[in-house]
Structure 1
Amino acid sequence: MTEPLERQNDHPRLAWIAGVGASAGLGAALARRFAREGLTVVVTGRSHERLDARVAEIRGAGGHALALPGDVTSESDLAAITRQLADAGTLEVAIFNAAGATRAPTLELTAEQFEAAWRVTTLGGFLFARAALQPLLARGHGSLLFTGATASLRGRPPFAAFASAKAGLRSLAQSLAREFGPRNIHVAHVVIDGGIDGERLRTSAPQRVSERGPDGLLDPADIADAYWYLHRQSRSAWSQEIDLRPFNESF
């Protein structure tokens, strides 16, 4: 069961991360990285069990974390989470890491699958951003970061649904950066150009892991370092987009 909200001090600094699942995944790595810097990490996803496990890991390492489950495509879920955030502390950084990874040849791709990919990745990104921007603006500054992919920049089969959704998310991030940058909110998009060495890839394509060799896949902890770097950038030199790839990845 998810534990009740706890105040670590009068005004805990919060990092809200949507799209947290397996321990060996990017969402969990982001949570661990920001917790290491003293922020109370709020993890959101659809699996109560996995979120509670991530919170236990972070607390076991001496950090502070809260599990607030929810569906990023649900306005009511996100509204409920933001109300709980207000009780828990002050939001400093919000990270959207959720995605609908639909894969199918175009003539086999259903309208429902195509819409589902857009709903989680693009609509979810919009709803999450809208929910996060209100407390960030009230604070007067903060960061809003989005996880992108190779597909954010170019489409290829069998990823028509995924690519269109990720491209939409990138355009959303650009629009938000232009609107809210002048209001002291750092909006950035991270293009993950390569395979992530995590549970999903190791389960679905173990041969690819062995083929890539040492450092041939992106280490989630190294990706998380880049997100922390973005969050800590001086506003005199903000990045709106960065791309990350293994040293041996063609591009």
Structure 2
Amino acid sequence: MNNKTALIIGAGDAIGSAIARKFAGRGYTICAARRNGDKLTPLVEEIEATGGNAYAFTCDARKEDQIENLFAEIESNIGELDVVVFNVGANVPMGILQTDSRKFFKIWEMACFAGFLSGREAARYMTKRNRGTILFTGATASVRGSAGFAAFASAKHGLRALAQSMARELGPKNIHVGHIVIDAAVDTAWIQQMLPDYKQRKDNDGVVNPDDLAELYVQMHEQPRSAWTFELDVRPWTEKW
């Protein structure tokens, strides 16, 4: 049983994988979960190649039984969770007239309901030990609803409210709950294709580097409890806000 274990739910190819690598570099055993766990093989191999320990899990964070089983397996067979990061994305732009109820509900499930399930399950284990960190990944939509993002903004607003409530309830129990607002484009394959001025922005530090962003998650987890941060608001130096 390793006494330093981190779970990243939504361990995608950019932000999630970067967070996993950063915690692995601090000596944490990494548990990475996403809907298609087979896609995590390169990440696990990379961490193990540098002497770390990593495990891949297939999990749909919208499904209560799958989240419960994920936490139970890790706690029973790998180690007590010190930090849990909820990083599931659902950034799907669509106009309000094109947003049917099925699409709205699915985006809410992914970006908000899944965060509730993950946060609640993390709290169930951490409150027994009176220690731990739970971090939620937010977005511009967490604080500002833009045109064409009604479903996503409503879900991200809800996730932020969930995190605020959990922070107030769990802080006195020595559990640090935090929310990271990423108010900018993150350097991903999708952004590289979508931004016509990507290269210029990249060369000028105008897009968020996933590795730099991941460092902030580690810093929040390592903060002394006399000076905990609830929310970080992150953007490149060139971003207008």
Q: TM-score, normalised by structure 1?
A: 0.92
Structural mapping, 1:55-134, within 5 Å: 55-86=44-75, 87-134=77-124
Amino acid at match of 1:42: C
Structure 1 residues 151 and 211, CA gap change in structure 2 (3 angstroms): farther
Instruction: Report what 1:151 is aligned to.
Output: 141
Q: Residue type matched to 2:57 in 1?
A: L
Name the CA distance, whole Å, in 2 between partners of 1:183 and 1:208. Answer: 47
Check whether the contact 1:102–1:114 (CA below 8 A) recurs between aligned residues.
no
CA deviation map 1:138-176 (0-9, x unaligned)? 222110000000110010111111111111000000000
Greater displacement, 36-45 / 208-217: 208-217
Q: Which amino acid aligns with 1:164?
A: S
Letter in 1 for 2:175: I
Structure 1 residue 199 displacement after superposition = 2.2
Matching residue of 1:3: none
Q: In structure 2, how many angstroms separate the alpha carbons of the residues matched to 1:121 and 1:27?
A: 15
- TM-superposed CA distance for 1:81, in Å, is 0.7
**After the TM superposition, which residues 132-211 of structure 1 pair with which residues of structure 2 at under 5 Å, given as runs?**
132-203=122-193, 205-211=194-200
Gaps of 5+ in 1: 1-9
Distance 1:21 1:96 in 2: 11
Which residue of structure 1 lines up, in the alignment, with residue 25 of structure 2? Answer: 36
The 1-side partners of 2:131 and 2:116 are apart by 19
The one-letter code matched in structure 1 to 2:58 is P
In the alignment, residue 119 of structure 2 is paired with which amino acid? A
Separation of aligned partners in 1, 2:235 and 2:143: 14
- Work out which of the residue numbers 222, 231, 234 in structure 2 matches 1:241: 231
Q: Contact between 2:38 and 2:58, CA under 8 Å: does it hold in 1?
A: no
C-alpha distance after superposition, 1:86-118 (max 9, x if no partner) = 121111000000021221111111111111110
Give the whole-Å Cα distance in 2 for the aligned partners of 1:66 and 1:138. 24
The residue type equivalent to 1:21 in the other structure is G
Q: RMSD value over aligned CA atoms? A: 1.2
1:229 matched to 2:219? The reply is yes
Tell me the distance in 1 between the aligned counterparts of 2:178 and 2:226.
Answer: 14
Question: 1:48 deviation in Å?
Answer: 2.1
Q: Give the Å deviation of 1:68.
A: 1.5
The one-letter code matched in structure 2 to 1:11 is N
Aligned residue pairs total 239
- What is the aligned partner in structure 2 of residue 15 from structure 1? 6
Alpha-carbon separation, structure 2, partners of 1:244 and 1:153: 13
Identity of aligned residues (%): 40
Shift of 1:44: 0.5
Structure 1 CA distance, aligned partners of 2:7 and 2:190? Answer: 22
Q: What is the identity, as a one-letter code, of the residue corresponding to 2:225?
A: R
Q: 1:206 Cα deviation (Å)? A: 4.2
CA distance in structure 2 between the partners assigned to 1:208 and 1:110 by the alignment: 33
For 2:144 and 2:197, how far apart are their aligned partners in 1?
Answer: 21
The Cα shift of 1:221 comes to 0.5
Q: Secondary structure at the match of 1:16?
A: strand
Asked if 2 retains the 8 angstrom alpha-carbon contact of 1:27 and 1:97, the reply is yes
* Secondary structure of residue in 1 paired with 2:31: strand
